[in-house]
């Protein structure tokens, strides 16, 4: 049935690559993607801030309904990140403490809800990664429809099943499967450069001459001040 189906995932980023990305802040990866991709500022970490990384298992569900999310919890492999597009609606919670506890026991790497959660206090006190757009005590329905392992989009960020999903305290980012290896090399170099800058700051040796050079290039005299 169109709009009510479960599909198989054809590919996924490797566990080795996932572990490599865990060492790099999301902001560094985002910079290397021309700062053009983001999961939306509304999607915030609801847990204790533990880093999240893993291949996406995508779910599209009717706002306020979590039947397909329950199925995704059973289908997900250890290390997967379940990404749920619930339309961004905050009327009904899609998951709560029971579902996140079950996900953790299955080795799932995290859950992203483009919608609301409940039991926020319990989730906040735990390390299991949960990102969501809001909180409400009103529970979900379990009727469908929905789809598993179809393309979803969160605030313009397209996610294909098996793409790499990253999350830290700055938010969420999807790294496309075909670009993941190349982006890792670029992001690792970016991270190393920023670590060097921080070391220069700590030593009192940071060179800020680029600021005046940029002002001159834009037609502004830096000496006027």
Domains and CATH numbers, the chain: 4-186 (3.50.30.40)
Question: Span 127-156, mean pLDDT?
Answer: 96
pTM, whole model, 2 decimals? Answer: 0.93
Q: Is the pLDDT of residue 225 over 80?
A: no
Mean predicted lDDT score pLDDT of the chain: 96
Upper half-sphere CA count for residue 180 (Cβ side, 13 Å):
27
Q: Is the pLDDT of residue 199 over 70?
A: yes
**CA 92 to each of CA 41, 89, 118: distance values in angstroms, whole numbers, following the listed order:** 20, 7, 9
What residues are designated binding site for Mg(2+)? Answer: 119
Is the separation of the CB atoms in 31 and 183 below 8 Å?
Answer: no
1 band by pLDDT with thresholds 50, 70 and 90 = confident
What residues are designated binding site for substrate? Answer: 96-99, 118
Q: Is the pLDDT of residue 105 over 90?
A: yes
Question: Span 98-118, mean pLDDT?
Answer: 98
Question: Span 97-122, mean pLDDT?
Answer: 98
37 band by pLDDT with thresholds 50, 70 and 90 = confident
What residues are designated binding site? Answer: 96-99, 118-119
Cα–Cα distance, 167 to 45 (Å, whole number):
8
Cα–Cα distance, 128 to 104 (Å, whole number):
6
DSSP state letter for 195: H
**CA 78 to each of CA 53, 54, 58, 99, 159: distance values in angstroms, whole numbers, following the listed order:** 12, 9, 15, 15, 19
Question: Span 160-164, mean pLDDT?
Answer: 98
170 band by pLDDT with thresholds 50, 70 and 90 = very high
Is residue 145 reached through a cis peptide bond, with omega within 30 degrees of 0 on the bond before it? yes
Question: Span 8-33, mean pLDDT?
Answer: 96
Question: Span 65-75, mean pLDDT?
Answer: 98
**Which run of H or E residues covers position 4?**
strand 4-6
């Amino acid at each position: 049935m169109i709009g009510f189906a479960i599909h198989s995932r054809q590919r996924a980023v490797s566990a080795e690559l996932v572990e490599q990305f865990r060492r790099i802040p999301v902001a560094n990866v985002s910079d290397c993607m021309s700062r053009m991709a983001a999961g939306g500022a509304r999607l915030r970490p609801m847990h204790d801030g533990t880093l999240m990384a893993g291949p996406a298992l995508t779910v599209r569900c009717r706002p306020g309904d979590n039947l397909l999310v329950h199925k995704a919890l059973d289908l997900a492999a250890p290390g997967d990140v379940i990404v749920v597009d619930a339309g961004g609606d905050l009327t009904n919670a899609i998951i709560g403490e029971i579902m996140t506890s079950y996900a953790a026991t299955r080795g799932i790497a995290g859950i992203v809800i483009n919608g609301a959660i409940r039991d926020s206090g319990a989730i906040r006190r735990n390390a299991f990664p949960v990102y969501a757009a809001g909180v409400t005590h009103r529970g979900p329905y379990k009727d469908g429809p929905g789809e598993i392992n179809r393309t979803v989009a969160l605030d313009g960020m397209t996610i294909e099943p098996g793409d790499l999903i990253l999350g830290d305290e700055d938010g969420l980012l999807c790294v496309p499967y075909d670009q993941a290896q190349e982006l890792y090399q670029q992001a690792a170099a970016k991270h190393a450069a920023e670590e060097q800058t921080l070391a220069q700051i700590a030593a009192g040796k940071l060179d800020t001459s680029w600021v005046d050079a940029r002002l001159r290039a834009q037609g502004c005299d830096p000496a006027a001040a």
